[in-house]
């Protein structure tokens, strides 16, 4: 078999692997579920790095998981790739009545509001349904806030959200003075949630912003380690002033 650009050839290739490769044959939905999450994060990393050649490969790996899961499901007559495609298309058509129906919308905000209302009509019990508890907390906080905003539960302007952040910071300071660890944890969570809320008003993605800061910190800290290593010194042998000097060097690079 040779590579091609045809989707049906990929489906056939995976079916062959399931029959003829001992490792592929052994896998189950459960055994590879964590790999699916891993591949998604690898795709995000490639996108953040603007490495589109790598991004192409990583979203290919995600596509492989879709086909692989569908092939396993078809073996037990649960569903197949055709069912996945049909269900997806049916949902997209139903949730875009302004494109495939007679609904008239005035901008993307109304599209988002209609989307949430349609989901509720489909049987969702809450606007917040569909957000997995396993999502990273910052992503989940921002998505919950966006969903609530789509149905009108939102501050009318960013200054009010900023005032709420100030309020939560004051409560956090009070918790520090009280010395109650559980209260402190709760109030710190409120500060983070309010900070995410402020970020939305400036079209900032909280998870992306923190991921970039993490990468920046890692780069600068590794620079400190490298400079000290060049002097045959370990971190424990350097004082804060010396480490801070190299930190500032890294910032200037």
Asked if 153 and 116 count as a contact pair (C-beta separation under 8 A), the reply is no
Mean pLDDT (whole number) for 221-232: 93
Asked if 169 and 189 count as a contact pair (C-beta separation under 8 A), the reply is no
pLDDT of res. 124:
81
130 contacts: CB under 8 Å, gap ≥ 6: 119, 124
Lowest mean pLDDT among 26-30, 56-60, 96-100, 107-111: 107-111
158-217 pLDDT tens trace: 999 999 999 999 999 999 999 889 999 999 999 999 999 999 999 999 999 999 999 999
Question: Could you tell me the CA-to-CA distances from 207 to 44, 136, 142, 193, 195 in Å, in that order?
Answer: 11, 8, 9, 12, 12
Asked if 250 and 223 count as a contact pair (C-beta separation under 8 A), the reply is yes
Mean pLDDT (whole number) for 68-92: 96
Predicted structure pTM score: 0.69
Question: How is residue 1 annotated by DSSP?
Answer: -
Distance of CA 109 to the CA centre of its chain: 22
Using a pLDDT cut of 90, give the percent of the chain over it.
78
Sign of CA pseudo-dihedral 215, 219, 225, 226: positive
Q: Which two tokens stand for residue 222?
A: 């590794």
Residue 221 has pLDDT above 90, yes or no: yes
pLDDT of res. 165:
96
Mean pLDDT (whole number) for 21-37: 94
Please give the Cα distance from 29 to 76 (Å, whole number). Answer: 12
pLDDT of res. 13:
97
User: Closest by alpha carbon to 26, among 36, 18, 16?
Assistant: 18
pLDDT of res. 171:
96
User: Closest by alpha carbon to 87, among 66, 59, 68?
Assistant: 66
pLDDT of res. 125:
83
Q: What class is the 7-92 domain?
A: mainly alpha
pLDDT band for position 62 (cuts 50, 70, 90): very high
pLDDT of res. 17:
96
Mean pLDDT (whole number) for 86-94: 94
pLDDT of res. 116:
81
Q: Which residue has the tokens 């209260």?
A: 183
Lowest mean pLDDT among 102-116, 148-162, 224-238: 102-116
98-136 pLDDT tens trace: 999 888 888 888 888 888 888 878 888 888 888 888 889
The average confidence (pLDDT) of the chain is 93
pLDDT of res. 205:
92
């Amino acid at each position: 078999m040779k590579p091609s650009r045809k989707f049906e050839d990929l489906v056939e290739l995976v079916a062959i692997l399931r029959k003829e490769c001992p490792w592929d044959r052994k896998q189950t939905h459960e055994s590879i579920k964590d790999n699916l999450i891993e591949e998604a994060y690898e795709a995000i990393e490639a996108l953040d790095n603007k490495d589109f050649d790598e991004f192409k490969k990583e979203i290919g790996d995600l596509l492989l998981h879709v086909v692989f899961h569908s092939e396993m499901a078809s073996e037990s007559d649960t569903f197949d790739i055709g069912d996945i495609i049909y269900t997806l298309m049916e949902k997209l058509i139903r949730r875009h009545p302004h494109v495939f129906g007679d609904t008239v919308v005035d901008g993307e905000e109304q599209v988002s509001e209609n989307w949430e209302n349609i989901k509720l009509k489909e049987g969702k019990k809450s606007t917040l349904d569909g957000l997995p508890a396993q999502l990273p907390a910052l992503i989940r906080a921002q998505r919950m806030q966006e969903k609530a905003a789509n149905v009108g539960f939102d501050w009318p302007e960013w200054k009010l959200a900023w005032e709420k952040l100030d309020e939560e910071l004051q409560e956090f300071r009070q918790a520090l003075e009280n010395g109650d660890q559980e209260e402190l944890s709760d109030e710190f969570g409120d500060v983070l949630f309010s900070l995410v809320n402020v970020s939305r008003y400036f079209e900032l993605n909280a998870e992306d912003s923190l991921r970039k800061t993490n990468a920046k910190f890692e780069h600068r800290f590794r620079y400190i380690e490298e400079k000290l290593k060049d002097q045959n010194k370990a971190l424990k042998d350097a004082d804060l002033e010396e480490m801070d000097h190299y930190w500032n060097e890294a910032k200037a690079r």
